[in-house]
Amino acid sequence: AVVHPAGGPELAQARIDGHAVDEGSAALEVTALGRAIVDAAGSPVGAVFVASISSRMTPARRIDLDKRLAACARSIESSLRA
């Protein structure tokens, strides 16, 4: 789901998926995958993301990177609550 500042169906899908994907809208032939960082109240306060040449962002790589981004976001969220 490509997330735009105005929200809409893309933002709703990113919330369902737990991550957002940008396929070429920020830069041609680049795919980015990101996750929100939320505070204790669940409000977004930042994000972590990774970008790659689109041909290298295979479905298996997306799964692996999403797991790593989720762990990174959780670590940052824990630090914010400490």
Least confident span in 10-14, 52-56, 74-78: 10-14
3-class SS at 7?
coil
Q: What is the DSSP letter of 24?
A: S
Report the alpha-carbon distance of residue 65 to residue 57 in Å, rounded.
Answer: 9
Report the alpha-carbon distance of residue 16 to residue 27 in Å, rounded.
Answer: 25
Per-residue pLDDT tens digits for 20-66: 888 888 788 999 999 999 999 988 899 999 999 999 999 999 999 99
Q: What is the DSSP letter of 25?
A: S
Instruction: Tell me whether residue 62 is exposed, middle or buried, using C-beta atoms within 10 angstroms of its C-beta: 0 to 12, 13 to 18, 19 or more.
Output: middle
pTM summary value:
0.80
